[in-house]
Amino acid sequence: MISCKKSYLNLPKKDLFEEVIRRTNAYKKAHPEAEVIKLGVGDVTRPLPLIVVEAVKKAMDEQATEEGFKGYGPYEGYAFLREAISKEYEEKGLSVASDEIFINDGIKEDSGNIPELFNYETVALCDPVYPAYVDCNALEGKLGEFDFEKGAWKKVVYLPCIQENGFVPPVPSSKVDLIYLCFPNNPTGAMLSKEELQKFVDYALENDALILYDGAYEAYVEDEYPHSIYECEGAKKCAIELRSLSKDAGFTGLRLGYTVMPHELKIDGVEVQALWRRRLEAKYNGAPYITQKGALARFSKEGKKEVKALISYYKENARLVSEGLKEAGFEVYGGVHSPYVWIRIPHEMTSWDFFDYLLNELQIVGTPGSGFGPSGEGYFRLTAFGSRENVLKAIKRLKEWKKK
């Protein structure tokens, strides 16, 4: 008899961002005249780089010709794109071969699917962090029960990233199998130095643990900080790196990312990438050709220039939000290596209460810190992905409110 997996039935009903959207829409329905400024869900708002759009159009036109038509492509992505990405690593002084790169339709799926390859008992993650890691492990029943009082999963080893430790997670003090690291961190905007990151690599090597390093915001990293976990010694033996074009070149709708699995990464003597290839053959038919052509254009000289301008736009927004909030008297973090600004909630309110308060009083939408993990309670995330106009309006409203 078929039945539903208990782990699916027991998952908290709504995902964080669904709940943010639900409450926002309910408010808008009740107050159709209100001008609501959305700095909540981390989606980009600027158009795609022109060179990407042109490349996608051209690739689409090729599909209309007999010579240019492409059907199924390689599971791991076209060589032209993997080679271009390999060259990007090379320019940063790192050696990542094109056959260590796997193209995907964005990294959310891989961050959830890669653990399917392994038997493991304990998962450690930064707290707070991007909630997809917890959700996908919870779906597989890896996290025990959810403690509603603490807002925490019983079997997770939470690595608190809080003001007291400069938002730098401690290396696990017990033995764990799988470690999710996300730097620049979503939501705190914090970054690890190379020395801090090396401690995690050393831990993983000593404890036979695997690191999933999510570098979705790599393009925002200021130069003196590590752009890749492979800058750390030994990382190729214990870490998988995920990168996305979503917050980099605006591909949240177009969809494209990539995962690096080095040959040196072996578990039980087996190359992890061999298992991953086998899984791809069984479950995936490759990212679209036209998207991969768009991604290739992103790595061209002109593409890089356009992406740099996009990132500068969002970074300037982040700076304005940070400065504006500081002037208004808020305790503010992040916003330098990241499009996220992390604020301490000024009153004795839960982060969901503060969400409702800001929506109702100032018509500003942010994201409650508790949605990213138990240590996120008491904090609130604002994104820099809005338009400049909306960012300035939001700051003005917050400053006026603080004056009252």
Ligand X SMILES: Cc1ncc(COP(=O)(O)O)c(C=O)c1O
Cis, bond preceding 128 (omega within 30 deg of 0):
yes
247 touches 256 (CB < 8 A): no
Q: Which of 186, 228, 291, 367 binds ligand X (CB under 6 A)?
A: 186
Q: Does 38 bind ligand X (CB under 6 A)?
A: no
What span, in angstroms and rounded, lies between the C-alpha atoms of 182 and 217?
Answer: 9
Q: Which of 252, 259, 367, 390 binds ligand X (CB under 6 A)?
A: 252
The one-letter code for the residue type at 345 is I
Q: In terms of CB distance, is 333 or 363 closer to ligand X?
A: 333
What span, in angstroms and rounded, lies between the C-alpha atoms of 61 and 55?
Answer: 10
Q: Does 332 bind ligand X (CB under 6 A)?
A: no
Among 83-91, 119-127, 244-252, 395-403, the segment contacting ligand X (CB under 6 A): 244-252
Strand bridging mode 210-214 / 239-244: parallel
Which residue(s) pair with 101 in the sheet?
A: 260
We find the least distance from the C-beta atom of residue 169 to ligand X, in angstroms, to be 14
- Rounded alpha-carbon distances, angstroms, from residue 291 to 52, 221, 378: 9, 25, 40
Q: Does 218 bind ligand X (CB under 6 A)?
A: no
3 state SS of 341: strand
Among 106-114, 331-339, 347-355, 368-376, the segment contacting ligand X (CB under 6 A): 106-114
Q: Does 246 bind ligand X (CB under 6 A)?
A: yes
Among 22-30, 59-67, 102-110, 295-303, the segment contacting ligand X (CB under 6 A): 102-110
Q: Which of 123, 216, 384, 398 binds ligand X (CB under 6 A)?
A: 216
We find the least distance from the C-beta atom of residue 215 to ligand X, in angstroms, to be 9
Q: Does 108 bind ligand X (CB under 6 A)?
A: yes
How many degrees, rounded to 5, is the angle at CA 139 between CA 133 and CA 142? 75
Q: Does 107 bind ligand X (CB under 6 A)?
A: yes
355 touches 368 (CB < 8 A): yes
Chain residue at closest Cβ approach to ligand X: 106
How many degrees, rounded to 5, is the angle at CA 327 between CA 323 and CA 328? 115
x-marked contacts with ligand X along 113-142 as a string, rule CB under 6 A: -----------------x------------
